[in-house]
Homo-oligomer: A and B are copies of this chain.
Amino acid sequence: MKERKISEAVIRRLPQYYRQLEELKETGNERISSSGLASIMGLNASQVRQDLNCFGGFGQQGYGYHVDTLFNEMAGILGINRLYKSIIVGAGNIGRALTGYEGFVQKGFKMEAIFDVDESIIGTKLGGVDVLHVDDMASFIKDNGIDIGIIAVGREKAREIANTMVESGIRGIWNFAPVSISVPIPIENVQLSDSLFVLSFRLQNR
């Protein structure tokens, strides 16, 4: 898999496959055809087969896909259920929402600490997670082998924090600040307003 270049569009669809398969599993489906899966995904059957062939196939002619097997394969491909030690920077509403989201812990993303500059909350816990001063972030990352840094601060501070994270040896960044950050490690820039603008486009073009 590392040899071949998987297209960005396929990578972006993987979490959708994972979610749909999880739902199929939860609703008691044992198997699904590529056309059935395609219909749920809003794709066509040949695209589904092509997508899954990037990772080795998993389907059988005349049978389709075994839901449980494909779900587990997809989790493995995405690296879900491994332990990723994570930290959050910024204890505002978004930071708090992410701290309290149990779904992430269940999937292997364990919140080790949340960092802020507000002295009134440092030393307390939010959603069971210790609040520490942002000045201690770099050493915390190094000492605890943190994998993922989640940035939930305003746009002014976001780049500086990302750089400190990279220098401290973090492996990946999930950025919620409304600014695109480029760093030499994997980063996902979440642009919340993008989907709002798509919605606005659709309202205008119905």
Quick one: which of A14, A77, A174, A203 has the most chain B CB within 10 A? A203
Asked if A183 is at the interface of the complex by the 8 Å CB criterion, the answer is no
Of chain B, the residue at the smallest CB distance from A20 is: B180
The residue in A93, A101, A109 that gathers the most chain B C-beta atoms within 10 A of its C-beta is A93
Q: Is the CB of B196 within 8 A of A104?
A: yes
A203 and B78 within 8 A (CB): no
A190 CA to B94 CA in the complex, in Å?
Answer: 14
Contacts of A196 in B (CB 8 A): 104, 107, 109, 174, 188
Counted per complex, copies of this chain come to: 2
A205 interface residue per 8 A CB criterion: yes
Confirm or deny: A157 has a beta carbon within 8 angstroms of a beta carbon on chain B: no
| Given A19-B180, A93-B97, A107-B193: A11 touches B198 (CB 8 Å cut-off) | yes
Chain B residue nearest to A84 in the complex (CB) = B200
Question: B residues within 8 A CB of A104?
Answer: 193, 196
Chain A residues bordering chain B, tally (CB within 8 A): 57
Contact of A197 among B1, B9, B14, B178 (CB under 8 A): B14
18 contacts between A and B (CB under 8 A): A11-B202, A12-B194, A12-B198, A15-B194, A15-B197, A16-B191, A19-B180, A78-B200, A79-B200, A79-B201, A80-B200, A82-B204, A94-B94, A103-B193, A109-B200, A174-B195, A188-B195, A188-B196
